[in-house]
Structure 1
């Protein structure tokens, strides 16, 4: 159980992305203060510098997996990127940020230990693998998070054997201490062979393919409607690589990139576990931040944050609702956070499938 919980909580070793400063960008986009993307030659991107990828051949497109769903994400970006042909966007950051996040990652490798109190979760998971993928509508919410706190919404999959862990997650994060602002950011995380891994492209490993959708970017939150992203982590049936796709109206299949199979030693035949949920990290003083919309799931489905249309790919790459398999509900601090499985069938003009509301206000008595 401890191993699985550590899988869930590994995302708090947050790192930021950077471009390889030895590679001259063909073009750059500055979309805000301290937010610049460099368009790097796809074959010279920093992700390919990983020692396990010396002989890796880039996979330009995944072997398509069709999903049965009527709608994707509704998030639009005010500053849409479009790098020139043959290049991909990589977020630029300072050496100070990289140093800070590396220290943070080292300290919080096992966040349930005494070195990292105040990590709390509210979500569901299933151990009935192997699984080949997971997707869900994830709601992005603008919350006030202090500089020394963090709040996340994630989907994930992984396998653990004899203290070894392989793990991939994606979703939204608010982490002012590292991004330098309180905005919502999309992200991706991996942990593979020898316990190595990181967020986004802070270190080598993730292969960016999309010219327009970087793995990490600030999200514009709508003040009048739910901001939903539909991320999809899935194993390629032909290559074994693990793809990250955003399913939405602008690009029905927005294939961002992938984590090559060479990075992992426990995911060749799928993942043993999948899950979704919210996670928070308290400040050193013990004050826990809000999760979801900052409200308990006590009212209607719109009053608290939601995960909806949660589907998995089984061992044969067939799509099923996650509740077609045995699931476990996780709420480790009911004083501060909650979860309620939904019962209605319709939402935002389409079928919800399996969904739940979650979240809470946090506070100073949420426990360790």
Structure 2
């Protein structure tokens, strides 16, 4: 009888190739025609194949749980809409095609962050704080369906990083519409990092990120109705004991979900925190020079919820104390006021909702945004 059960188990399993290694998937979730998640043994996941992680030991949970905070919540929560639930001991890994991996490497080369030199066709609107050392950043951010061209990108992110000379260590998480990478117009969650080898990587398209959650993958599609925002509540923080950098999804009416982490071995400038944190929107124009919409496509000239918004933006200082981001000196970043805007929040409550430190941002884009 046991033999029959084992044979049936193998029949319903699939073999997945990751980084030239064959891994058996114990279960799979097909989200749509071209999107499948495979439940991979947590100790055999592709993230651990990175050459810097040969002796790395998986950290199953953060040393200290992230404190909960009052947050802006909309009616259309985006958390775990796809209802993935891998068996114990396995984690969901997006089944990547060769084309997706290749495109990820191409887009990683041009992924913009405020520590890099100006990138042609890239425009930003957000806030940044320098100094530190910072141990983390978190925020609630609205997401919206947008009309983004096949050779355009629009995304919103929280980020943390350090730079020294030509070297950069950098982590960002948020949502993205990138038809050239994902092949559709959906809003995708994403994580991005650049470390001591000078190369960047999205999600699990290459090794490095260690997935720990068995139900919320680092990269996931979300279908939003036009004009109806969804909400993400995200946190990046450095583990106090291990130095690893965790990404956590702050949950509404449920325990927070620690998605996974980037091991400290990947970075050479983030051992003792980061010297920069920030949040905001970014777009990349098409080759013809046409820039896509940012935020929800509206300038921040109306009400608090009429444009793209980041709320409850907080950072962890060098002592792991949680502070509103405006407790530190802040730079306002807007490089194309013809197409995008930024408005810093000035009230603590709005319609009985706690906004904390917040800002509105975004705009329609167009053909006159400059380079």
Alignment correspondent of 1:205: 208
Distance 1:100 1:65, change over 3 A: closer
Counterpart of 1:266 (choices 269, 279, 284) is 269
Counterpart of 1:236 (choices 206, 219, 239) is 239
Distance in 2, matches of 1:127 and 1:284, equals 32
Q: Kindly indicate whether the alpha-carbon contact (under 8 Å) linking 2:112 and 2:122 is maintained by their aligned counterparts in 1.
A: no
- Answering whether residue 192 of structure 2 is matched by residue 150 of structure 1, we say no
Distance in 1, matches of 2:159 and 2:35, equals 26
Distance in 2, matches of 1:184 and 1:234, equals 24
Structure 2 SS opposite 1:23:
strand
C-alpha RMSD of matched pairs (Å): 2.1
Q: TM-score, normalised by structure 2?
A: 0.89
Alignment correspondent of 2:131: 128
Alignment correspondent of 2:218: 215
1:279-332, CA deviations, whole angstroms, 9 ceiling, x for partnerless residues? 000000000000001111011111111000000000000000000000000000
1:216-253, CA deviations, whole angstroms, 9 ceiling, x for partnerless residues? 00123266854211100000001100000000126421
- Answering whether residue 113 of structure 2 is matched by residue 105 of structure 1, we say no
Distance in 1, matches of 2:72 and 2:305, equals 18
Q: Which has the larger radius of gyration?
A: 2
Q: Kindly indicate whether the alpha-carbon contact (under 8 Å) linking 2:131 and 2:275 is maintained by their aligned counterparts in 1.
A: yes
Structure 1 SS opposite 2:281:
strand
Q: Kindly indicate whether the alpha-carbon contact (under 8 Å) linking 1:171 and 1:187 is maintained by their aligned counterparts in 2.
A: yes
| 1:96 Cα deviation after fit | 1.9
Counterpart of 2:300 (choices 278, 289, 297) is 297
- Residue ranges of structure 2 left out of the alignment (5+ in a row): 1-16
Distance 1:273 1:107, change over 3 A: closer
| 1:177 Cα deviation after fit | 1.2
1:4-15 to structure 2, matched below 5 A, reads: none
Alignment correspondent of 1:172: 175
Distance in 2, matches of 1:93 and 1:120, equals 29
Q: Kindly indicate whether the alpha-carbon contact (under 8 Å) linking 1:118 and 1:286 is maintained by their aligned counterparts in 2.
A: yes
Q: Kindly indicate whether the alpha-carbon contact (under 8 Å) linking 2:145 and 2:227 is maintained by their aligned counterparts in 1.
A: no
Q: Kindly indicate whether the alpha-carbon contact (under 8 Å) linking 2:137 and 2:316 is maintained by their aligned counterparts in 1.
A: yes
Distance 1:113 1:230, change over 3 A: closer
Q: Kindly indicate whether the alpha-carbon contact (under 8 Å) linking 2:96 and 2:205 is maintained by their aligned counterparts in 1.
A: no
Distance in 2, matches of 1:156 and 1:138, equals 13
| 1:109 Cα deviation after fit | 7.9
Distance 1:267 1:77, change over 3 A: closer
Alignment correspondent of 1:32: 32
Distance in 1, matches of 2:334 and 2:120, equals 16
1:1-368 to structure 2, matched below 5 A, reads: 22-67=22-67, 69-71=69-71, 74-106=77-109, 117-221=120-224, 226-249=229-252, 251-347=254-350, 349-368=352-371
| 1:338 Cα deviation after fit | 0.3
1:66-102, CA deviations, whole angstroms, 9 ceiling, x for partnerless residues? 4352347632444210000100000012112222332
Distance in 2, matches of 1:103 and 1:295, equals 29
| 1:196 Cα deviation after fit | 2.3
Q: Kindly indicate whether the alpha-carbon contact (under 8 Å) linking 1:130 and 1:315 is maintained by their aligned counterparts in 2.
A: yes
Distance 1:113 1:306, change over 3 A: closer
Q: TM-score, normalised by structure 1?
A: 0.90
